[in-house]
Chain A
């Protein structure tokens, strides 16, 4: 909902805090979640996420949530789905080129980031979205990726995408996940 979405940006500092707590909680719950099985949790958690984030942020379930790097303004609401800042077509007063009645998602993002403790994360170069992850739970992914980052720091060197966008891997691991490197026999030649 547009009004709630803008409210979340105005309260970006508080939402950042909530999100940090949520992430720490999920990371600390990793042993339990692993035992229950991430695959089994995927559908119910994704369903909860779809409802709550949909209401608060107009979440599009890209599966690679970067709200804490974008001032709590979801970049997937940008008609061009830009992940790294506004385009050159922003209208006077900060309105969207494509939807003139909507505030530019990235004008909102920079505004939200200015109130956040780690607002400078907005400067990190984010990779393109992995479209295979659409519809999946970003919360569970955040937990798994962060745990992986904490326990196996060297793991980040394994895949190409995380290497290409290392700052994104460090600051928002969900955005640059460790997906298997594709080395298909035929394709390599």
Chain B
């Protein structure tokens, strides 16, 4: 592990950012250079051991521009996103600090944003968050003091104007590449592009979408996005992932909020001799298809408990990954 875990004590000073960049993260550099970006989601450990984070990050580190650390996704408790992202800065790998509005109010969030930036985190993803009822502790108090859109504007204000929501000045503003989510294939499909416009207006620099399994629906969404000129103002990473089986897909569709999987995809998995391989093949095809859609700048791979497949999926999809220098 020593090769991966460089210097545990190295706290780097706040480095200047390249001209024309907001944060200078690897992800931002890749996108601004016009290269196809790849991000992927890390399965957060139920553990206090940093080695578990490094082990989970290992299959993703070499093939992605940044690793997303989920923030108690599905309202299930795991190691925090800010903890994981801070650990990943020690390995020199880019991370996306996911902030959900479900668990913390504006006071906690603004403090954590400064803390994350001080630790060297350079990308954030602003999310509303699944309801507490979806998770393992449904009796918890849902916070939702902010929503994803007001959160985006809040972080942009901290970054660009150097002040808190109270107006108080921040001595050294956090340099962050601000991300937001969109879910193009679920209702209200007609208004998803309008909602995206609102996030861009609030200050989003990049978008990671939820799972895309329905290409025609996604294409209609992207058509509206292009008509509104949004693809020129924000980088869009299409969300994909390998399904394990028809049963798993059906379970996800009915139990995880905001997942749309067409019957045709489930049929393909059900008929396959090896559903796992078929799920991987479908994912490869999806990447190849979204790559050709105008306005798509990259992919976001959510391979829950199948992270070891990500490198192969990318290779099979023909996505060449140049070695990135760490930042």
Question: What residues of chain A have their CB less than 8 Å away from a CB belonging to chain B?
Answer: 79-94, 97-98, 104, 106-107, 110, 122-123, 125-128, 131, 159-161, 163-165, 167, 181-183, 187-188
- Chain A to chain B: the 6 pairs with minimum beta-carbon distance, closest first: A160-B167, A89-B257, A84-B149, A88-B183, A88-B258, A89-B258
Contact B188 A81 (CB under 8 A): no
Contact partners of A85 in chain B: CB under 8 A: 147, 149, 191, 194-195, 198
Chain A residue with the shortest CB-CB distance to B196: A85
Contact B188 A183 (CB under 8 A): no
Contact partners of B130 in chain A: CB under 8 A: 89, 97
Say whether, besides A88-B258, A90-B186, A183-B168, A125 and B153 are in contact (CB < 8 Å): yes
Is B19 part of the contact surface with A, judged by Cβ < 8 Å?
no
Contact partners of B101 in chain A: CB under 8 A: 80
A22 to chain B, nearest CB (A): 27
Most A-side CB within 10 Å, residue of B102, B134, B147, B153: B147
Within 8 A of A (CB), among B238-293: 257-258, 260
Complex CA gap A160/B23 in Å reads 24
Complex CA gap A91/B188 in Å reads 9
Is B59 part of the contact surface with A, judged by Cβ < 8 Å?
no
Complex CA gap A88/B166 in Å reads 29
Complex CA gap A106/B166 in Å reads 28
A141 to chain B, nearest CB (A): 19
The segment out of B49-57, B79-87, B138-146 that lies at the interface is B138-146
A-B CB contact pairs (8 Å), 27 listed: A80-B102, A80-B128, A80-B144, A82-B144, A84-B148, A84-B150, A84-B202, A85-B198, A86-B188, A87-B148, A90-B186, A90-B188, A94-B187, A122-B194, A123-B201, A125-B149, A126-B150, A128-B145, A128-B147, A131-B145, A160-B166, A161-B165, A163-B167, A164-B154, A164-B157, A181-B166, A182-B166
Contact partners of B183 in chain A: CB under 8 A: 88
Contact partners of A92 in chain B: CB under 8 A: 186-187, 260
B305 to chain A, nearest CB (A): 21
Contact B146 A86 (CB under 8 A): no
Contact B146 A128 (CB under 8 A): yes
B179 to chain A, nearest CB (A): 14
Is B182 part of the contact surface with A, judged by Cβ < 8 Å?
yes
Contact partners of A79 in chain B: CB under 8 A: 131, 142
Interface residues on B, range: 35 or more
Contact B168 A104 (CB under 8 A): no
Is B163 part of the contact surface with A, judged by Cβ < 8 Å?
yes
A189 to chain B, nearest CB (A): 10
Contact B165 A164 (CB under 8 A): yes
Contact partners of B142 in chain A: CB under 8 A: 79-80
Complex CA gap A164/B150 in Å reads 9
B99 to chain A, nearest CB (A): 14
B110 to chain A, nearest CB (A): 12
Is B318 part of the contact surface with A, judged by Cβ < 8 Å?
no
Complex CA gap A97/B131 in Å reads 8
Complex CA gap A150/B283 in Å reads 56
Inter-chain pairs besides A92-B260, A181-B167, A183-B168, 19 sampled, C-beta below 8 Å: A80-B102, A82-B144, A85-B149, A87-B258, A88-B128, A88-B182, A89-B131, A89-B258, A90-B188, A93-B187, A94-B187, A123-B197, A128-B146, A128-B150, A160-B163, A160-B166, A163-B167, A165-B153, A167-B201
Is B64 part of the contact surface with A, judged by Cβ < 8 Å?
no
Complex CA gap A87/B127 in Å reads 9
Complex CA gap A159/B167 in Å reads 7
Contact A97 B257 (CB under 8 A): yes
Within 8 A of A (CB), among B219-253: none
Contact A107 B150 (CB under 8 A): no
Is B181 part of the contact surface with A, judged by Cβ < 8 Å?
yes
Say whether, besides A88-B186, A94-B187, A128-B106, A182 and B131 are in contact (CB < 8 Å): no
Contact partners of B197 in chain A: CB under 8 A: 123
Chain B residue with the shortest CB-CB distance to A159: B167
Most A-side CB within 10 Å, residue of B157, B188, B260: B188
Is B133 part of the contact surface with A, judged by Cβ < 8 Å?
yes
Complex CA gap A127/B260 in Å reads 30
Chain B residue with the shortest CB-CB distance to A110: B191
B195-211 interface mask toward A, CB cutoff 8 Å, 1 = contact, 0 = none? Answer: 10110011000000010
From B147, B163, B164, give the contact of A82 (CB < 8 A).
B147
Contact partners of B129 in chain A: CB under 8 A: 80
Contact partners of B147 in chain A: CB under 8 A: 80-85, 128
Contact A110 B194 (CB under 8 A): yes
Contact partners of A110 in chain B: CB under 8 A: 188, 190-191, 194
